Amino acid sequence: MLQVKQLTCVRADRPVFQGLSFDLKASRLMQVVGVNGSGKTSLLRILAGLLKPAEGSVSWRGMPIEQQTSDYSLARVYMGHANALKGDLSAMENLHWACLLAGRDPTQPVIAEALNHWGLNRRHHLPLRVLSQGQQRRAALARLSLLLDAKLWLLDEPFAALDTEAQEALEHLIARFLDEGGSVILTTHQAFGLSPRITDRVDLDRLRASC
């Protein structure tokens, strides 16, 4: 589904990695590893379409992503380091808006269910800034529960700063998404329970540009 050919990434005139190629099929879980500064975040941003690669191409179902109309933006979900949530809006408002933006329109009960699943019962309508950091992160991840109909999740350090309970919830969610035919590319430093399900692995340290 996602085809990457001879990708080279240059940041601030310094080459980061070069010659990355892979072909990701449906129901696959890919882990991207590499030391800090090896370009993990840059790679995810390139795959999402936020960043232009210096060279190489990324194609989705045979068509380069920069030529895609709305197909690819409906199919892929990108989650960066930040939560992309507003402290002045409630969890409910935040999620509804995020889903609208992503081209979905879930009803209130559906969003409420997703929030409950992430242990945010009775906090649906509080302004997000009164919740703890961990709870805010959960609210951000609850978005994924509402985007199970996507085809590709690009998750940048999704397990960072999660307690075991939330980590398990996320692992279950990813497993379910894989079972339903979705593919996941994630970066992480820590060990996580899905290790047996990892099918693909990219080691950016090996692709370090010689410079």
Q: Mark 13-42 with x for binding to other proteins (rule: CB under 8 A) and - for no binding.
A: xxx--x------------------------
| 88 belongs to the binding site for other proteins (CB under 8 A) | yes
| 2 contacts 24 by C-beta, under 8 angstroms | yes
In angstroms, give the least distance from the CB of 137 to other proteins: 13
| 100 belongs to the binding site for other proteins (CB under 8 A) | yes
- Structure-block tokens of residue 44: 């995810």
31 Rama sector, left if φ>0, alpha if ψ -120 to 50, beta otherwise = beta
Closest C-alpha to 115, from 154, 143, 86, 73? 143
| 82 belongs to the binding site for other proteins (CB under 8 A) | yes
Give the Cα separation of 124 and 27 in Å (integer). 32
Contacting range for other proteins; rule: CB under 8 A; set: 22-30, 81-89, 113-121, 167-175: 81-89
| Minimum CB distance to other proteins smaller for 49 or for 193 | 49
| 29 contacts 188 by C-beta, under 8 angstroms | no
Size of interface with other proteins, in residues (CB under 8 A): 38
Instruction: Restricting to residues 137-196, name those near other proteins by CB under 8 A.
Output: none
Instruction: Restricting to residues 44-73, name those near other proteins by CB under 8 A.
Output: 48-52, 54-55, 70, 73
**φ, ψ of residue 82 in degrees (nearest 5):** -75, 160
Cα–Cα distance list, 129 to 27, 84, 116, 142, 144 (Å): 36, 13, 18, 16, 21
Out of 1, 2, 85, 114, point to the residue binding other proteins (CB under 8 A): 85
Sheet-wide strand order for 14-24: 14-24, 2-11, 55-60, 63-64
Out of 25, 81, 189, 201, point to the residue binding other proteins (CB under 8 A): 81
What residues make contact with other proteins under the rule CB under 8 A? 8, 10, 12-15, 18, 48-52, 54-55, 70, 73-74, 76, 78, 80-86, 88-89, 93, 97-98, 100-103, 105, 127, 211
